[in-house]
Amino acid sequence: MRAIGIIAKYDKVEAQRVVADLVPWLKDRDMEPFVDMDTAVSIGETGYYREDIVARAELIIVLGGDGTLLSVARAIGSRGVPILGVNLGSLGYLTEVPLEDLYPALKRYLAGEYEVEERAMLTASVFRHNEKVLEHTVLNDAVITKGVIARIIDLDTYVNRHYVSTFKSDGLLVATPTGSTAYSLSAGGPILYPTLGAMILTPICPHTLTNRPIVLPLDSTVEVILKTEDADVSLTLDGQVGFNLKYRDVVEIRCAPHATKLITTPKRDYFNILRAKLKWGER
C-alpha cells in the first residue's frame, strides 16, 4: 500500500472539500492517505503531524499556494519525498497543477508516467562568536533586512572567502533560481530558469546605484557580516521564518546537499507561467 501525504491550506473551504473527496478516492485505489492535523480535524478524519507525514509518505500532495508548498519543502528536508503541488488560488510558480488536473495527475503517478524536477535549495546558517546559532534550509531565498525605522545597514560580503563589497543598503538577499521570481525580482534581480545551477546575490535598495545583482555558481559560499551596531536587522527565510541578527553576526549561505523534488505535468510550461504572472505581451 502506497502512503500518500496530504497537506492543505486548511482555512480554505475549497481545500477541505477537495480533501474530503480525495481521501476515499485514494483508499479505493489501495493507497493510505495521511492528512495533516488541521485539515483532518475540519473533515472528521484522523490527522497526522507534518513530521509524521514526511517520515511515512512516498508522495505529498500540497493543496494551496506557493507559500504552503515552501513550508512543506522545508519540512521534507533531506527525505527526498516528491511533491505534487495543486493550486487552489491564483496561478502559482510552484503549485503548477490546476485543481481540474489533480486526479489525472494522480493516475499518471500510479501508472509511473510522471517526471520529477529537482529544484536547488540553500542552507542558511548564522554564526555568533564563532558558534552556530541557527541553520535552516530554504527553497526560495534568505533575506537580510533592516527594521522599519532602522537606518541603512553595512554588510561586508564575501564569496568563497573573496571580498565582494560592503553593501550599504536596506538589506541583501540570496535566492535560488526558484526564488528568482519572488523577492529578488521585486528588488531588481534577474529571472533564472528554475533548474539552472546558480544562485543570485541581490542588494536591496543599495545606497550606491552601481551595486547590482550578481549571478553566482551554485557551489558558491556566501558570507555576510553585519557591521552596523545597534541596528534592528533580521534574517528571513522563505518569507516565513525570522531570526534577529546582532552586530558582527555572520550569515553563511551555501547550496544545500539535497533538492526539492516537484512532480511535473505534461501541460506545464514555465514560460506560460511567466507570461500569465508577469503580464508579458499585454498592453
259 vs 110 pLDDT, higher one: 259
For 69-197, list the strands marked E by DSSP: 83-87, 97-98, 115-128, 131-138, 141-146, 153-159, 162-169, 171-175
146 and 241: one domain? Answer: yes
* Structural domain harbouring 248: 121-257
Average of pLDDT values for 182-186? 95
Cα distances (angstroms) measured from residue 191 to each of 171, 177, 181, 195, 219: 19, 7, 6, 12, 19
86 and 44: one domain? Answer: yes
Whole-model pTM? 0.92
pLDDT at 1: 62
103 and 177: one domain? Answer: no
Cα distance between residue 52 and residue 213, in whole Å? 40
137 and 172: one domain? Answer: yes
168 and 215: one domain? Answer: yes
CATH of the domain at 15: 3.40.50.10330
Whether 68 is in a domain gets the answer yes
Residue 91's pLDDT band (boundaries 50, 70, 90)?
low
Q: Strand pairing of 59-64 and 83-87?
A: parallel
**Percent of the chain clearing pLDDT 70 (strictly above):** 98
- Look up residue 260 and give its DSSP letter: E
pLDDT at 135: 97
The closest of 62, 58, 4, 56 to 32, measured between CA atoms, is 4
Cell numbers 545606497 correspond to 207
Average of pLDDT values for 73-79? 93
Residues with catalytic annotation?
A: 66
Average of pLDDT values for 103-122? 92
156 and 201: one domain? Answer: yes
pLDDT at 94: 87
Note the pLDDT tens digit of each residue in 62-72. 998 899 999 99
The closest of 109, 21, 24 to 58, measured between CA atoms, is 109
**Predicted confidence (pLDDT) at residue 39 exceeds the cutoff of 80:** yes
Query: Cell numbers at residue 138, please?
Result: 530554504
Whether 67 is in a domain gets the answer yes
- Widest pairwise Cα distance in the chain: 62
* Mutual angle of helices 102-110 and 13-28, in 10-degree steps: 30
Structural domains of the chain, count: 2
235 and 136: one domain? Answer: yes
98 and 155: one domain? Answer: no
Do 185 and 203 touch, CB atoms closer than 8 A? no
CATH of the domain at 195: 2.60.200.30
Whether 40 is in a domain gets the answer yes
**Predicted confidence (pLDDT) at residue 36 exceeds the cutoff of 80:** yes
Cα distances (angstroms) measured from residue 22 to each of 94, 109, 256: 21, 15, 33
164 and 249: one domain? Answer: yes
Note the pLDDT tens digit of each residue in 125-135. 999 999 999 99
pLDDT at 273: 83
Whether 283 is in a domain gets the answer no
**Predicted confidence (pLDDT) at residue 114 exceeds the cutoff of 70:** yes
Do 178 and 167 touch, CB atoms closer than 8 A? no
pLDDT at 217: 98
Query: Cell numbers at residue 136, please?
Result: 535552516
**Predicted confidence (pLDDT) at residue 14 exceeds the cutoff of 90:** no
Cα distance between residue 138 and residue 156, in whole Å? 22
